């Protein structure tokens, strides 16, 4: 697994290309000794703060803040939904509709697994079909909320689990894929100086190499 690379930086933030398989921040228990994106960059840049998280098996754009003030500002953008987030997601099966929205509340159990529950937190995912394969569909996904495993659970709930998802898909079927096919590829936001900023990161080789087999 390659180390993460810096794809953008300014006085407030570092935008990192996080590879699939790397933790966003130091784990607990058995994962406590593993490397994370935060620990790798804290070696030469202190202090650093995680603005938002990406699932371990997802890849893509991850923001780290250089100061407590920047962390408060950018975390606030995620909390108030004033930041645009787009993902490329390959899911099992053929998604018939060109565009769709999943509005289902989500709740996290004690095991860490997330499920759709009527009394869960409001969660909204929107998607657009980009391409059909033999038995899979590539989607561009936007999330209006930022719940744990939101895209994975929402897609699973409509019968189209994310390819390579061993938690919310059939384990025997999903184990054939080398990675989770979820990539955070675009962030749009207004920085603290009032400048509109757009970051985009194309999928890595390990993502693209799966496409011919879908």
- CA dist., res. 49 & res. 120, Å (int): 28
Residue 40 has pLDDT above 90, yes or no: no
Name which residue leads in pLDDT, 28 or 73.
73
Residue 30 has pLDDT above 80, yes or no: no
Which residues lie closer than 8 Å to 136 by C-beta, 6 or more apart?
90, 91, 92, 93, 94, 163, 214
Q: What tens digit of pLDDT does each residue of 2-16 get? A: 778 999 999 999 999
Joined together, the tokens standing for residue 163 give 């390819």
Q: What tens digit of pLDDT does each residue of 159-180 get? A: 999 999 999 988 899 999 999 9
CATH class of 84-177: alpha beta
Q: What percent of the chain is predicted at pLDDT more than 70?
A: 95
- Burial of residue 33 (CB within 10 Å: 0-12, 13-18, 19+) is exposed
Residue reference for tokens 């490329």: 88
Spell out the domain ranges in the chain. Answer: 84-177
- Burial of residue 2 (CB within 10 Å: 0-12, 13-18, 19+) is exposed
Catalytic positions: 55
């Amino acid at each position: 697994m390659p180390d993460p690379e810096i794809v953008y930086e300014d006085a407030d933030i570092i935008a990192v290309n996080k590879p699939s398989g790397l933790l966003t921040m130091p784990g607990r228990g058995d994962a406590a000794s593993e490397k994370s994106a935060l620990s790798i960059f804290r070696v030469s840049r202190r202090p650093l703060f995680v603005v938002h998280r990406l699932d371990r098996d997802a890849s893509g754009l991850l923001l780290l803040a250089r100061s407590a003030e920047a962390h408060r500002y950018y975390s606030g953008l995620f909390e108030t939904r004033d930041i645009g987030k787009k993902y490329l997601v390959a899911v099992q099966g053929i998604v018939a509709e060109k565009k769709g929205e999943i509005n289902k509340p989500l709740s996290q159990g004690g095991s860490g697994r997330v499920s759709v529950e009527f009394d869960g937190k409001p969660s909204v995912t929107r998607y657009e079909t980009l391409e059909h394969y033999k038995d899979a569909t590539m989607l561009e996904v936007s999330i209006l909320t930022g719940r744990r495993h939101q895209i994975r659970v929402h897609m699973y709930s409509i019968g189209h689990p994310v390819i390579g998802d061993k938690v919310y898909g059939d384990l025997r079927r999903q184990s054939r894929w080398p990675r989770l096919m979820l990539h955070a590829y675009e962030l749009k936001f207004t920085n603290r100086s009032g400048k509109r900023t757009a970051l985009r990161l194309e999928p890595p080789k390990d993502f693209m190499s799966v496409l011919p087999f879908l």
